[in-house]
Amino acid sequence: MTVLTRKARPVAAGPPATARTRRARERAWALAFASPYLLHLVALTAWPVLASLFFSMTDYDLMSPPTFVGFGNFSRLLGDEVFWRTLGNTAYFAVLFVPTQTALALLLAMALNQRLRGMALFRAAYFVPVVSSWVVVAYVADSVFNPQTGIANQVLALVGLPAENWLQDPALVIPTLAAVAVWKGVGYMMVLFLAGLQAIPEERYEAAKIDGASAWNRFRYITLPGISGTTFLVLVLTSIETLQSFEQVYVMTDGGPHGASELTVLYLYRQGFQFFQMGYASAVAWVLFVLVLVLTLVQFRLQRRWVHYA
């Protein structure tokens, strides 16, 4: 039997000087390597965030020094009908966009998760809109939804339905924008789902087939639980993206007709950069931030019930 003994070390002395120096040097190097990111974080994220929190409690027109108004901007928000309408527009857009894009991305991923020739081409084709700018997408969308010359109305005419004013009708503008946003964004989410699908072990399907499980049951009991982590990620990302949506409406409708497609971030932009109300715009930004945070926390809380990390 071997007995291991350890030499007693003086308690108060701490590590030897050389070890301390080495650790200090390592810390310095770590800090040096991390410093570009830390500088970026402090200068371009933390500082603007804190500044906007300060501005949200001021009357600030960008040109004269801000004057402190406490929660004045937030109480003004409560009675601002336009703000609430933009929030309603954003929620409506999210309700249409998030489930549609998620479901469609999953369907496409399943369809393209086959070992067939030319599949890579299809995957690339669905990904092309993701990397296109919104200006380009707006032109394409116009060729589809223009009430005079667009393909959508030509299709309706073929089946004997009346033409629609897709982007000029207050009732249709948000569903149309949601459809275009799905078309642009579905490719990215499809790639995430593809990765999720390919991570499910093939043996599970083989075992289920041997046990006589139907295609629906294999989807229900193997695929869906197997990609629940990816689904959760897609839902969180899409929800945040929707609440921050700006470029699309700015380019395609500028919030029209009559504000029917004015989303909250576009409203925020106008208040801050067109109407000289940076304090009020900052308050809108913070309310939006809190909403995104609450929504994300709720999603994280609910995920415990349905997300399985195998």
Residues lying near another protein in the complex (CB under 8 A) are found at 61-64, 142, 146-148, 165, 167-170, 254, 256-259, 270, 273-276, 278
Residue placing its CB nearer to another protein in the complex, 50 or 310: 50
Do 296 and 236 meet the contact criterion of CB atoms below 8 Å apart? yes
Residue placing its CB nearer to another protein in the complex, 242 or 277: 277
Q: How far apart are the first and last CA of the chain?
A: 43
Backbone dihedral angles phi then psi of residue 67, each to the nearest 5 degrees: -115, 135
Residue 66: CB minimum distance to another protein, A? 10
Residue 258: CB minimum distance to another protein, A? 5
Residue placing its CB nearer to another protein in the complex, 261 or 303: 261
Using DSSP, state whether 212 is helix, strand or coil: coil
- Closest by alpha carbon to 174, among 72, 288, 91, 287? 91
Residue placing its CB nearer to another protein in the complex, 147 or 225: 147
Residue 275: CB minimum distance to another protein, A? 4
Residue 18: CB minimum distance to another protein, A? 22
Residue 77: CB minimum distance to another protein, A? 13
d(CA 213, CA 205): 9
Q: What residues have CB less than 8 Å from 7, skipping those under 6 apart?
A: none
Do 188 and 127 meet the contact criterion of CB atoms below 8 Å apart? yes
Residue placing its CB nearer to another protein in the complex, 208 or 251: 251
The bridge status of strand 67-68 relative to strand 58-59 is: antiparallel
d(CA 301, CA 295): 10
Residue 148: CB minimum distance to another protein, A? 5
Residue placing its CB nearer to another protein in the complex, 196 or 279: 279
What's the length of the chain?
310
d(CA 199, CA 202): 9
